[in-house]
Structure 1
């Protein structure tokens, strides 16, 4: 896949990669926190880098419309999307990330209904959320389906309200 002018400028200015052969296909920790990355730039990244242990996108301009780009990843263990304009519309795309073990959705608009759906992520060990409203039945459903996963709601461990 060749570079467009815009993508070439992106890689050169943001990361000093002058040619696509210099862009790694795997990376351990990619910290892009507070960098004002856009949906398009996320797509540039995931179209070239296919395996990421930990991707930190906290507090960026990426929103629900950028989430399909994450499906380009072959592997990701940790994904941090804190304080971004992410809602339940992102859930379908996040469910493609089967290798995900930690997902941070704190300070987003993901609801308890979205949390319930995330119980389908097979390797998830930690989920951090801060839903606009608490629906204990959805959260309890998540824990019943995924008792091995630590659910953190509003930055506190959530325990089922049912005995």
Structure 2
């Protein structure tokens, strides 16, 4: 299947859009739970859609590459990437480009809690949900530092 054919099939299958000219530039949100959403899904989506308010993904096939595509959505306000074993610290530079984020859930991924300090551009963040591979005492110590690092942000460890 040619790329244009694959793209047309993507839009028709996922959004019942039969013409590439009918693709909207804005969407309110995308949700994928135990779904086949993958890197190609976000490649095609972000190549046409310029504004999405929220993305909620749990147990999908998205990897760090998919997060790179998601990072094109500069106005994204809420991002959940929960329970993805193929999302690692390599995705953090892309997440860091999402400067409008107010909500970020990156728990149950392969992102060590200490690497969260690389998120230097998320100045509007109000809620951060993450996981920790550290002991309870180590996690408590990191949480104190993270709360200083992200003032005004509620931080939860799951």
Q: Same fold (TM over 0.5)?
A: yes
Corresponding residue of 1:81: 81
Alignment map for 1:17-96 (pairs within 5 Å): 17-84=17-84, 85-96=86-97
Runs of 5+ unmatched residues, structure 1: 155-163
Count of residues in correspondence between the two structures: 152
Q: 1:149 aligns with which of 135, 143, 153?
A: 153
1:125 corresponds to which residue?
126
C-alpha deviation, 1:119, in angstroms:
4.9
- Name the structure where strand makes up a greater proportion of residues: 2
Contact 2:71 2:94 in 1 (8 A): yes
Contact 1:54 1:77 in 2 (8 A): yes
Cα separation, 2, equivalents of 1:57 and 1:44: 17
CA RMSD of aligned residues (A): 1.7
Residue deviations 1:103-152 (CA, integer Å, cap 9, x gap)? 11111111112222225311111110112225444433221121200110
Tell me the distance in 1 between the aligned counterparts of 2:65 and 2:116.
Answer: 19
Say which SS state the counterpart of residue 77 (structure 2) adopts: strand
Indicate the residue corresponding to 1:16 in structure 2. 16
CA contact 2:97–2:121 (8 Å) conserved in 1? no
> Whole-Å Cα distance in 2 between the matches of residues 122 and 25 of structure 1?
26
| Other structure's SS at 2:76 match | strand
Q: What are the ranges of 5 or more consecutive residues in structure 2 without an aligned counterpart?
A: none
Contact 2:93 2:119 (8 Å CA) reproduced: no
TM-score (norm 1): 0.85
| Distance in structure 2 (CA, Å) of the matches to 1:62 and 1:80 | 12
Cα-to-partner distance string for 1:37-65 (whole Å, 9 max, x where unaligned): 11111111111111111111221100112
